Structure 1
């Protein structure tokens, strides 16, 4: 037996009946020869980690646009934190940790520069068609490897596109990532908001802190334990009272942070930048060569949206400056 086959056999023996098994995967859109060492889900995880879109997450906004400081979350650190929480839950429930990790690492690959402000701008340009979770799937299917795509397994692709809203993921592992994403971002957004001076931990309503904890560590631990204790037969759930406290915390954050004028003041500049870049790159001649092929095959508007969505915050700002801000010049 190969190492991969041994791993697949171990999965059959020790994982929950509700776990997705690598040996029973629905496979890839384009069949490939099996790896002698890694299962299909392990290979998917590795492909995500090594792709360009994953590296660009390090300079994409999570909540605060262009914050001054080294410790604010980026889309990359958020992704890693989602992965850690999701893997903890998966291991506790004896579900497939490799599949869970692959979905978690890929779930935000389609996020725009400037966080949700960038997503809203592209959504408005597209007439509501642009959604970051759909773009994440498009990244792995179509855009990565200069138009070749990563050819990920069906289970990972399903978890990516279903991680935010709409239909629930088909696998329990995908459903874990969906709840882990919510646990991660609400608590880490609090941490960043406190660091920015937008709010204090003491501002969180007492009823919430009494139920799920008064610190980041306490809340994350409480919510993870709630999921582990209340999930059965592949159904991923929290205790109803914990979920009610989470919902109340989410509403508090909307009022205190997500709609805070001070915290979000720079976002007013985002729609103009995104629109100017989009219009410029609607000319296929302005796109890189592989994106010109995308424009020819999928349409120039789609290719322009793909290219702008893939930019990091810094690259978008620098590109905008190069294209539209007059430069100083001298005559020698």
Structure 2
């Protein structure tokens, strides 16, 4: 494999091949363009709000459960490690990883589903598109442009999924969904790093919460093989440390396989540039067959035993009602919105456009943290749902 001058593989994203930013800017003096992307993400308000947004467990349920913020940091760590091994751009991988959930609603996927239902007649709601809205439009930090003005490659990675209808409205960024092309390898990697992080760390949070038991998890091959190996080698190890060691080994196996299989696919494809990567019929970053099957087995187990657990469902029902009630209250009376959101509606040429009004309301609700949404629900509706 021939390396670029910066030590990157020829198919990695580089500043020389970047498609640039929507608004031209002077280049940074002491950091790379992708480091600038990362830094803007870390400093934005949407990133800070992730600290109080649900991963699986609502924020008030415990201090040690993962949040969207800690999850994003874990994704970035896994992504950077794999990027280095594959000769990919670590800074870009980190930027995409840190930004991938910026548009997520309060209350995790339950909040997203509830807001999507509220927006059903107004274009729907999807958190990847919302993350793009955050970095392109909603963040207000810079004098010369809205949003964060990230590079094309970072924005490409943030937009993991997109319907054909929405893709047509996104110009160059949406073209790959219409032409069935692939994103760059850094974007592909951040997507899989996200899956590795939530699959394995949801096991940890599930056990910590008491909603999962070791006995249940021993029915899952990817867990049980490592658990038994740890037990044989460290029979006196305390239970919590035994769990940590088991999950550490689970992640190591998946990451190692991903690196080896991705190297094999890249070599077989013979790609020599990021554009050649984009022309491939399928992603080049992925697991081998056996580890892919193990990953699917773990995902099925978590879906059936954790995400569908009665206690999780009970909280999810409260969360969905909270989002729906807030949406309906703001639609009924936009004066309940903060002044800046009222201004977006009143000062727009689309004041009487129901879809535009609904989208502004969705922007506001999506930006809420769990605890702020709960507090607003109690204040506006005199609700005791969360007491």
Q: TM-score, normalised by structure 1?
A: 0.89
Q: How does 1:230-309 map to 2 (within 5 A)?
A: 230-232=261-263, 233=266, 235-282=284-331, 283-295=333-345, 296=348, 299-309=356-366
Say if 2:133 is the partner of 1:138. Answer: yes
Matched, 1:155 2:153: yes
For the 8 Å contact 1:163–1:169, the answer to whether it is kept is no
Q: Distance in 2 between matches of 1:71 and 1:155?
A: 34
> 1:64·1:264 contact (CA, 8 Å) conserved in 2?
no
Q: Does the Cα contact within 8 Å between 1:140 and 1:151 map onto a contact in 2? A: yes
For 1:47 and 1:25, how far apart are their aligned partners in 2?
A: 18
Which residue pairs with 2:183 in the alignment? Answer: 170
Alignment coverage as a number of residue pairs? 318
Unaligned 5+ runs, structure 1: 1-9, 328-332
**Aligned residues of 1:212 and 1:242 also touching (Cα < 8 A):** no
Aligned partner of residue 281 in structure 1, secondary structure: helix
Structure 1 runs (4+) greater than 2 angstroms displaced: 10-13, 65-69, 163-169, 204-214, 279-298
1:99 is aligned to 2:113:
no
Q: By how many angstroms is 1:67 displaced?
A: 4.9
Secondary structure of 1:12's aligned partner: coil
1:247/1:289 CA distance change after superposition, 3 Å: same
Could you say which residue in structure 1 is the equivalent of 2:216? 203
Cα pair distance change 1:168/1:319, threshold 3 Å: farther
Q: Larger deviation: 305-314 or 154-163? A: 154-163
1:100-144 Cα offsets, whole Å, 9 max, x none, are: 000000000001001111011001111172111111111111111
Higher alpha-carbon deviation: 74-83 or 29-38: 29-38
Q: Normalising by structure 2, what TM-score?
A: 0.77
**Aligned equivalent of 2:375:** 318
Q: 1:313 to 1:210 in 2, by over 3 A?
A: closer
Question: Of residues 225, 233, 255 in structure 2, which corresponds to 1:224?
Answer: 255
Aligned to 2:274: none
Q: Which of 82, 88, 92 is the equivalent residue of 2:81?
A: 88
Distance 2:182 2:126 in 1: 17
**Pick from 8, 24, 40: which aligns with 1:47?**
40
The question of whether the paired residues in 2 share the 8 Å contact of 1:65 and 1:267 is answered with no
| In 2, Cα distance between equivalents of 1:113 and 1:326 | 18
Shift of 1:270: 1.7
- Is the Cα–Cα contact under 8 Å of residues 83 and 90 in structure 2 kept in the other structure? yes
| 8 Å Cα contact 1:44-1:153 kept in structure 2 | yes
Deviation at 1:323, TM superposition (A): 1.2
Alpha carbons 2:60, 2:371 under 8 Å: kept = no
Whole-angstrom CA distance in 2 between matches of 1:222 and 1:294: 49
1:45-124 to 2 correspondences below 5 Å: 45-124=38-117
Cα displacement (A) at 1:164: 9.3
C-alpha deviations, 1:5-39, integer Å up to 9, x for none?
A: xxxxx963410011000232100111111111122
- By how many angstroms is 1:169 displaced? 5.2
- Superposed CA RMSD in Å reads 2.3
Match for residue 203 of structure 2?
190
Distance 1:69 1:275 in 2: 25
Q: What's the secondary structure of 2:312's corresponding residue? A: coil
The CA deviation at 1:297 is 5.8
